[in-house]
Structure 1
């Protein structure tokens, strides 16, 4: 059951959904710091193809992840219609580029279903739950898997 805003009751999870290439995904709203329009990123040498570059967010330099590319769904040609969702996991901050933010909503934890065990080309677990809502399925993404790997100190 979906309910709008308000306080979280026990067993309810608050999520934010967004679109990438016509597909809907969601993440836990507690990982989201802000939502902002697309701004050009400064490219960095020798970074993975899913890193569009870095931007300065009020004094903090953070990477911008092309989420479509990160999930293996193709590359995004960023434009003014795209949105950056600023996410945080622990001390790591990053922006994920999405086609558009849909809604925030709550679901009871009991409706989350485990994703099917399908062989993938990466060891990373990107989807930890499938959420059936009316006539659609949303994949809940694992925020820590979306972030770029941090460089290890020498």
Structure 2
């Protein structure tokens, strides 16, 4: 196999930090990286849904992944980052501790997520990316955003529509 073939077979992920752990999402779903703005709070929303912002005329829900994945107590300041992703035709902002890099993994470098039983809900993980000594927890952003728990996108929509 040539190096060019290896690059072509890689899937690229935007990596970000939640606490001390490195996570990744498919780069193709990322639309924008921006600072945290004031949000309009939504009454009776779960704690991890911080509210909504108006982004160029589109209402974008903001989900704090630090709360959703039960990380440390989050702070909101000028260093807080929001990754705006698109799932189907809907934009969703995800609050994270920081953005790291874009990393490519070949299929051989991606392992299935381990089953943690009831100790950890791994249904939103698509696997673990491993390169050298580094491990990246790969988030299935579509499963997370379309989950009944978040309720941000209608689950009955076809994945291929």
Task: Give CA deviations for 1:94-122 in whole Å, capped at 9, x if unaligned.
Answer: 10001110001212111100111111367
Out of 91, 116, 119, the position equivalent to 2:117 is 119
How high is the TM-score relative to the length of structure 2? Answer: 0.82
State the secondary structure of the residue aligned to 1:110. Answer: helix
Which structure's relative contact order is higher, taking Cα pairs within 8 Å and 6+ residues apart?
1
Moved more, 66-75 or 118-127: 118-127
Residue aligning to 1:139: 137
Contact 2:113 2:122 (C-alpha < 8 Å) held by counterparts: no
Count of paired positions: 147
Contact 1:14 1:28 (C-alpha < 8 Å) held by counterparts: yes
CA RMSD of aligned residues (A): 2.3
Distance 1:43 1:82 in 2: 17
Distance 1:144 1:99 in 2: 20
Q: Does 1:98 find its partner at 2:100? A: no
How high is the TM-score relative to the length of structure 1? Answer: 0.85
Distance 2:59 2:78 in 1: 21
Q: Does 1:69 find its partner at 2:67? A: yes
Contact 2:116 2:122 (C-alpha < 8 Å) held by counterparts: no
Contact 1:124 1:145 (C-alpha < 8 Å) held by counterparts: no
Out of 16, 28, 32, the position equivalent to 1:30 is 28
